[in-house]
Structures are given as C-alpha cells and as structure tokens.
C-alpha cells in the first residue's frame, strides 16, 4: 500500500498544499489516514478522487456541488451539467456584451481628439469633422473608409444642413433641461435627435439593436461629457439629462 504525503500529492496533482488542507476541512477529500503526529497520508484511491474533483473543477463547478456529484449515487448529473451549461452560456453572452461596450468606448476615446482632417472635411471646423468621424467609426469600426465616402457623398451642403439641425435640436433640448426627461416635449425633440443620429448610422436595420445602441450612446454621453456641450462647455448635467431621455426613448418608442 503506497502512501503519499501532502506535498507529494500536491506535486502529483498540480495543486497547492493549502488546497488539500481545504478539501480535507470541507470533507471533500479526506486522507486515508494520519500518522501519530497528525500528518495526512493519501493512498491511490484518494489520488483518483482528487483527479475526479479536478475534472469537475475545470468546468467551474463549485466544490460543494462536486462533493454531491461524487458522493450521491442518485444525483442527476446530466441535469446538473445542463443547468451549469446554461449558466456558463449566460456568462459567455454577458462577456460578449462587455467586449462590445469596451470596443465602443475605446473607439470613442481613441478618436475623440483626432482633429486633423481638414483636407477631408474642408470647410468645416475641426471639431465638427472629428465629431462626424468619431460617430462613423463607432458604428463601423472597420469600415471607416466606407463611412467617409458616404459623408463625402452627402456633400458639404448636405452636411452643413445636418449639422445645423443637430445644433438646432441641441438648443431645443438644452432649453428643456428643467422638464422631466420623459415628458412629451422632451421626447419630441429626442425623436428628432434620434432621426438625425440615424442618418449617420445608416438605415440597415431598425428595432431592438438600434434601441440598445441608442441607449448605449446616451450612457457614453455620461461617461464622457465633453460630447454634450452647452455654450461650448462640457456640461455634466446636460449629459445626464440626455442619457435619461434617450434611455426612455429607446425603451418606449423604439420597442418593436
């Protein structure tokens, strides 16, 4: 009968001694016996059980559950695994969403100060050009070319009109800042705001993806309020107001 000490087991299985102490304490893996001095001694059977524990641990199954799996012969393992699988999938989707948000934010920050496109957007202020370009990049991170061609196609006059209307809408919204973001008057202007934004975003699809994107843009305004300016100055309160109004709009008007 071969016997192994904690350190030997730890090395064989690639875990720490502390882990073995813990597993002993929570009754997940007890040593086969103890020496007079209290040293833990493990046999082959325990090594096997440890392998099984690690097998399930690889799937991120909590230790408690592993104990049940290994000790309760009537446990419905398939059902438990399916449930766990569902949880993992949810987590995976959540991470995918976070990655999207991060990408958007990075693009946002990266191109925020990119103000050197005079030759392309000749005739507009640097700030205007950068704003347009940024919004394009946020929508089509890898298709900036396409976006810029589209903007050029609009032409200077078309773009100026677009910009004029955006300013117009902004002024209207600023004057409504004391109203509730959900109030009809605000939501009316928000509708115009949305329509105008959509021209930059193209018209590929409508409904839910657009709703989420629009609400997300509102959140972005809050995270970086240099976007929402009042009389040329970044204004945090206006940013918050806009994000609330946009969120409300997305959740009501844009629900398909």
Q: Residues in the site for DNA, rule: CB under 7 A? A: 5-8, 15-19, 21-22, 24, 35-40, 57, 62-64
How far the first Cα of the chain sits from its last, in Å, is 70
- Which one, 7 or 91, has the nearer CB to DNA? 7
Whether 190 contacts 249, CB under 8 Å:
yes
Output the smallest distance, CB 1 to DNA, in A: 17
- Which one, 76 or 118, has the nearer CB to its own copies? 76
Handedness of CA 201, 204, 205, 209 (dihedral sign): negative
- Which one, 58 or 122, has the nearer CB to its own copies? 58
Name the token pair of 124: 């507009």
- Which one, 62 or 123, has the nearer CB to DNA? 62
Q: Which among DNA, its own copies, none contacts residue 179 (Cβ within 5 to 8 A by kind)?
A: none
Name the token pair of 245: 């109004």
- Which one, 28 or 186, has the nearer CB to DNA? 28
Using CB atoms within 10 Å of the CB of residue 249, give its burial: 0 to 12 exposed, 13 to 18 middle, 19+ buried. Answer: buried
Name the token pair of 202: 């193209």
Rg (CA), the chain: 30
Enumerate the H helices of 111-143 as residue ranges.
126-139
- Which one, 15 or 154, has the nearer CB to its own copies? 15
Q: Which among its own copies, DNA, none contacts residue 98 (Cβ within 5 to 8 A by kind)?
A: its own copies
Whether 168 contacts 174, CB under 8 Å:
no
Output the smallest distance, CB 83 to its own copies, in A: 10
Q: Which among DNA, its own copies, none contacts residue 83 (Cβ within 5 to 8 A by kind)?
A: none
How far is residue 236's CA from residue 77's CA, in Å, rounded to a whole number? Answer: 53
Q: Which among DNA, its own copies, none contacts residue 81 (Cβ within 5 to 8 A by kind)?
A: its own copies
Residue whose C-alpha is closest to residue 172's, from 240, 219, 230: 230
- Which one, 13 or 150, has the nearer CB to DNA? 13
| CA angle centred on 242, ends 215 and 133, rounded to 5° | 70
Q: Which among DNA, its own copies, none contacts residue 102 (Cβ within 5 to 8 A by kind)?
A: its own copies
Q: Which among DNA, its own copies, none contacts residue 90 (Cβ within 5 to 8 A by kind)?
A: none
**Residues in contact with its own copies by the rule CB under 8 A:** 44-45, 47-48, 51-52, 55-56, 58-60, 77-78, 81-82, 84-85, 88-89, 91-92, 95-96, 98-99, 101-103, 105-106, 109-110, 219, 222-223, 225, 236-237, 239-240, 243
Handedness of CA 169, 175, 176, 177 (dihedral sign): positive
Output the smallest distance, CB 53 to DNA, in A: 8
Question: Could you tell me which residues come within 8 angstroms of residue 238 by beta carbon, excluding any fewer than 6 positions away?
Answer: 173, 174, 177, 225, 228, 229, 230
Q: Which among its own copies, DNA, none contacts residue 110 (Cβ within 5 to 8 A by kind)?
A: its own copies
């Amino acid at each position: 009968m071969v016997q192994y000490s904690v350190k030997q087991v730890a090395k064989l299985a690639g875990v720490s001694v502390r882990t073995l102490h813990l597993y002993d304490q929570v009754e997940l893996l007890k040593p086969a016996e103890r020496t007079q001095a209290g040293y833990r001694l493990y046999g082959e059977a325990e090594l096997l059980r440890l392998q099984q524990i690690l097998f399930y641990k690889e799937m991120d199954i909590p230790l408690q559950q592993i104990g049940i799996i290994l000790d309760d012969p009537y446990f419905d393992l398939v059902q438990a695994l399916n449930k766990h699988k569902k949880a993992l999938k949810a987590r995976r989707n959540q991470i995918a969403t976070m990655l999207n948000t991060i990408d958007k934010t990075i693009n946002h920050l990266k191109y925020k100060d990119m103000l050197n496109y005079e030759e392309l957007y000749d005739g507009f202020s640097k700030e205007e050009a950068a704003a347009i370009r940024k919004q394009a990049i946020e929508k089509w991170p890898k298709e900036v070319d396409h976006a810029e061609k589209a903007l050029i196609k609009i032409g200077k006059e078309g773009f100026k009109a677009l910009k004029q209307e955006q300013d117009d809408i902004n002024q209207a919204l600023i004057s409504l800042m004391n109203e509730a973001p959900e109030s009809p008057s605000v939501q009316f202007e928000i509708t115009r705001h949305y329509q105008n934004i959509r021209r930059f975003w193209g018209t590929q699809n409508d409904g839910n993806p657009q709703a989420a994107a629009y609400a997300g843009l509102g959140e972005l305004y809050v995270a970086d309020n240099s976007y929402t300016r009042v009389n040329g100055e970044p204004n945090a309160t206006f940013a918050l107001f806009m994000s609330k109004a946009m969120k409300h709009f997305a959740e009501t008007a844009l629900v398909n």
